[in-house]
Amino acid sequence: MKGSRILKSEDKRKEEFMLPGEKKYPHIFSPIQIGKIWVKNRIKYASTETNYNYSDGFVSEKELAYIEAHARGGSGIVTTQGAYTDPRGEGQGYVGMMGIWDDKFIPGLKRMADVIHAGDAVACLQLMHCGRVGGINLPYTVGPSAIRQRLRRFRPPQKMSIPEIEECIQEHIDGARRAVEAGYEIIEISGIVGYLISNFISKYTNWRSDEYGGDIHGRSTFMRKIVEGIRKEIGQDVALGIRLCAWEMLDDMEGNTEEESMQSLKIAEAAGCDYISVTVGWQESLGSVISRDIPMGKWLYVAERTKKALNIPVSMAYRLFVPEIPEQAIADGNLDIWEMCRPQIADPALPNKIMWDKQEDIVPCVACQVCLARLFRDAPVTCTVRPSCGHEGEREWGYYGFPKAEIKRKIFIAGAGIAGLQAAGIAAEKGHDVSVYEKTDHVGGQWYYASRNPWGEDSEKYWDDQEFMRWVSHMKAQCDKHGVNFVMNTPVTVELLDKEKPDSLVIATGAVPEVPDVPGVDKPHVIDMFDVFTGKVKLGKNVVILGGSGAAISLALFVIDKVEKDGIKDFSLAMIDPASRFGADVNPSYIWRYRLRLRKAKVQQLTYGKVKEIKDQAVVADWKIVDRKTKEKQEFKDQEVPADTVILATLVPNHNLGYGSFTGDTAMIGDCVWIRRGIDAIQDGFRLGTRF
Instruction: Give pLDDT tens digits for 164-214.
Output: 999 999 999 999 999 999 999 999 999 999 999 999 999 999 999 999 999
The one-letter amino acid code at 476 reads K
Q: For every residue of 396-460, which 3-state class applies, written as one string?
A: HHCCCCCCCCCCCCEEEEECCCHHHHHHHHHHHHCCCEEEEEECCCCCCHHHHHHCCCCCCCCCC
Q: What pLDDT score was predicted for residue 664? A: 84
First to last CA, the chain: 65
Confidence of residue 6 (pLDDT cuts 50, 70, 90): very low
Query: What are the φ/ψ torsions at residue 112 (nearest 5 degrees)?
Result: -70, -45
Q: How far apart are CA 441 and CA 409, in angstroms?
A: 26
Using the predicted structure, report yes or no on whether residue 651 has a pLDDT greater than 60: yes
Q: What is the largest CA-CA distance in the chain?
A: 91
Closest CA to 83 of 115, 113, 49: 49
Find out whether 154 and 133 touch, Cβ atoms under 8 Å: yes
Using CB atoms within 10 A of its CB, is residue 538 exposed (0-12), middle (13-18) or buried (19+)? exposed
Query: What are the φ/ψ torsions at residue 647 (nearest 5 degrees)?
Result: -110, 125
**CATH code of the domain made up of 402-510+663-691:** 3.40.50.720
Confidence of residue 510 (pLDDT cuts 50, 70, 90): very high
Q: What pLDDT score was predicted for residue 8? A: 53
Closest CA to 305 of 258, 267, 273, 251: 258
Backbone conformation region of residue 547, classed left if phi is above 0, alpha if psi is from -120 to 50, else beta? left
**CATH code of the domain made up of 17-395:** 3.20.20.70
Using the predicted structure, report yes or no on whether residue 13 has a pLDDT greater than 80: no
Q: What is the pLDDT of residues 71-85, one digit of tens each?
A: 999 999 999 999 999
User: Which whole-number Å values give the CA distances from 83 to 57, 91, 135, 172, 373, in the listed order?
Assistant: 8, 9, 13, 10, 20
Count the helices and strands in the chain (H runs, E runs): 22, 28
Q: How far apart are CA 2 and CA 193, in angstroms?
A: 54
Could you say which architecture CATH assigns to the domain 526-651?
3-Layer(bba) Sandwich (3.50)
Q: How far apart are CA 155 and CA 510, in angstroms?
A: 42
Q: What pLDDT score was predicted for residue 434? A: 98
Q: Mean pLDDT highest for which of 61-65, 565-569, 627-631, 664-668?
A: 61-65
Q: Indicate the angle between helix axes 550-566 and 588-600, nearest 10 degrees.
A: 40
How far, in whole angstroms, is CA 612 from its chain's centroid?
41
Q: How far apart are CA 348 and CA 79, in angstroms?
A: 12
Confidence of residue 656 (pLDDT cuts 50, 70, 90): confident
Q: How far apart are CA 300 and CA 287, in angstroms?
A: 17
Q: What is the pLDDT of residues 514-542, one digit of tens each?
A: 999 999 999 999 999 999 999 999 999 99
Using the predicted structure, report yes or no on whether residue 7 has a pLDDT greater than 60: no
Find out whether 425 and 385 touch, Cβ atoms under 8 Å: no
Q: What pLDDT score was predicted for residue 631? A: 87
Mean pLDDT of 449-456: 94
Domain regions of the chain by residue span: 17-395, 402-510+663-691, 526-651
Q: How far apart are CA 167 and CA 179, in angstroms?
A: 18
Q: How far apart are CA 565 and CA 162, in angstroms?
A: 58
Across the chain, mean pLDDT equals 95
Closest CA to 525 of 604, 614, 606: 614
Find out whether 174 and 234 touch, Cβ atoms under 8 Å: no
Percent share of the chain, pLDDT over 70: 98
Higher pLDDT, 172 or 461: 172
Q: How far apart are CA 654 and CA 417, in angstroms?
A: 12
User: Which residues, other chains included, contact 107 with Cβ-Cβ below 8 Å and sequence gap of 6+?
Assistant: none
Q: What pLDDT score was predicted for residue 262? A: 98
Q: How far apart are CA 680 and CA 385, in angstroms?
A: 10
Q: What pLDDT score was predicted for residue 629? A: 84
Mean pLDDT of 347-373: 97
Q: How far apart are CA 15 and CA 506, in angstroms?
A: 48
Q: What pLDDT score was predicted for residue 3? A: 44
Q: What's the whole-model pTM score?
A: 0.94
Find out whether 492 and 438 touch, Cβ atoms under 8 Å: no
Residue 638 CB neighbours (<10 A): 9
